[in-house]
């Protein structure tokens, strides 16, 4: 169990898609938690969330308006906090190509701010959210998230004697999240046209609930230094289009700058330090110390084969058109009917 009635948790980017799902799950599973702090920079989204969780009914909630770029504000927000989930990030690939320093300031320097403040304030556990675009990145967004991942993993080297561990979870496209393809196609289907970037394109798929469950699992099981990757299915972009709008026109428009045909979460270069934990993979630091800890701790795992890579195109599990429709109805648009 990752939390108890004395737990004091903060989530950065807490008003985003993941944050809202995480908050709902925590309040359902751990209603007696002492504190759950939501840190984000959008006052409107915080106000909207406060309407769902009024103070008289949810006294354990705290709302902090702040930016991860602001180290002093982070330090104040983290006073008394023992667990941090880092979900704050700028994420839109085209916007990153046009505004690179904004993404660097938030995704890289913001991550470093959080690391330093956690070292200063008595935090015990940190789990940071990553993305499949951070594996062998070809766009600036992915590059900033790779830098962020490296900062959190390397932070374990400077924690000294502190009871503190930093880990990362990396997963694929979250079904129904803002700016993702399924909400985009649902909107475009009303006009009868679904633009396809490339008919060969594939992506990993994870639901918000699965993403939250993975973070909770990492909080409970991480020793510090792992980069966790879930075993999840892929989908073909053409199957998503068929699931949503079988009667729609589907023109091929070409991939956007910085996009890949297939995403990967574990590269062949990572295979030397990757272990299979059952439901998840873990990429461990190359110095071998964490692997030794896994062995001495009696953890069950197997090393992957040399050259192993985890790619959405070669993934053995793909969602069918009908499975996609059912997932859309369950997680994105209840009552959805293909057009």
Establish whether 133 is a catalytic residue: yes
Cα 247 from Cα 249, distance rounded (Å): 7
29 forms beta bridges with none
Cα 290 from Cα 165, distance rounded (Å): 12
Which of these is catalytic: 20, 91, 133, 145? Answer: 133
Contacts of 319 (CB under 8 A, 6+ apart): 205, 233, 234, 235, 239, 327
Residue with tokens 């505004």: 99
Nearest to 174 by CA among 149, 145, 211: 211
Query: Angle, to 10 degrees, between the axis of helix 17-29 and the axis of helix 208-221?
Result: 60
| Tokens standing for residue 173 | 């496209």
HSE value, Cβ hemisphere, 13 Å, CA-based, for 112: 8
CB 152 within 8 A of CB 189: no
CB 233 within 8 A of CB 242: no
> How crowded is residue 269: how many other Cβ atoms within 10 Å of its Cβ?
12
| Tokens standing for residue 119 | 């070292």
Query: Angle, to 10 degrees, between the axis of helix 140-154 and the axis of helix 110-121?
Result: 20
**Cα Rg of the chain (Å, integer):** 20
Kindly tell me the sign of the dihedral angle through the C-alpha atoms of 246, 254, 176, 274: positive
CB 130 within 8 A of CB 148: yes
CB 319 within 8 A of CB 327: yes
Nearest to 53 by CA among 27, 16, 77: 27
Report in angstroms the alpha-carbon separations of 319 from 35, 132, 240, 281: 38, 18, 9, 20
**What amino acid positions are annotated as catalytic residues?**
133
């Amino acid at each position: 169990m990752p939390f108890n009635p004395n737990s004091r948790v903060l989530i950065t980017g807490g008003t985003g898609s993941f944050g809202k799902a995480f908050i709902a799950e925590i309040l359902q599973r751990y209603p007696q938690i002492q504190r759950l702090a939501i840190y984000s920079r959008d006052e409107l989204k915080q106000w909207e969330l406060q309407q769902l969780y009024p103070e008289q009914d949810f006294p354990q909630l705290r709302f902090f308006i702040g930016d991860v770029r602001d180290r002093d504000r982070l330090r104040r927000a983290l006073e008394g906090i023992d667990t941090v989930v880092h979900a704050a990030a700028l994420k839109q690939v085209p916007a990153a190509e046009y505004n690179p320093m904004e993404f660097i300031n938030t995704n890289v320097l913001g991550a470093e701010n959080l690391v330093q403040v956690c070292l200063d304030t008595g935090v015990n556990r940190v789990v940071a959210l990553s993305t499949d675009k951070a594996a062998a990145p070809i766009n600036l967004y992915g590059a900033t998230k790779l830098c962020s991942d490296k900062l959190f993993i390397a932070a374990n080297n400077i924690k000294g004697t502190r009871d503190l561990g930093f880990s990362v979870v990396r997963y694929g496209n979250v079904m129904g999240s803002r700016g993702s393809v399924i909400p985009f196609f649902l909107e475009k289907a009303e006009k009868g046209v679904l633009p396809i970037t490339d008919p060969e394109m594939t992506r990993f798929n994870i639901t918000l609930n699965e993403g939250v469950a993975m973070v909770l699992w990492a909080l409970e099981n991480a020793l510090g230094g792992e980069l966790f990757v879930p075993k999840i299915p892929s989908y073909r972009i053409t199957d998503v289009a068929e699931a949503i709008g079988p009667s729609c026109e589907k023109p091929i428009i070409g991939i956007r700058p910085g996009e890949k045909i297939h995403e990967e979460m574990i590269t062949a270069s990572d295979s030397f330090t990757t272990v299979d934990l059952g439901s998840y993979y873990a990429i461990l630091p190359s110095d071998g110390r964490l692997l030794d800890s896994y062995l001495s701790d009696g953890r069950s795992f197997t090393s992957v084969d040399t050259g192993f890579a985890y790619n959405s195109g070669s993934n053995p599990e793909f969602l069918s058109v009908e499975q996609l429709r059912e997932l859309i109805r369950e997680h994105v648009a209840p009552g959805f009917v293909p057009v």
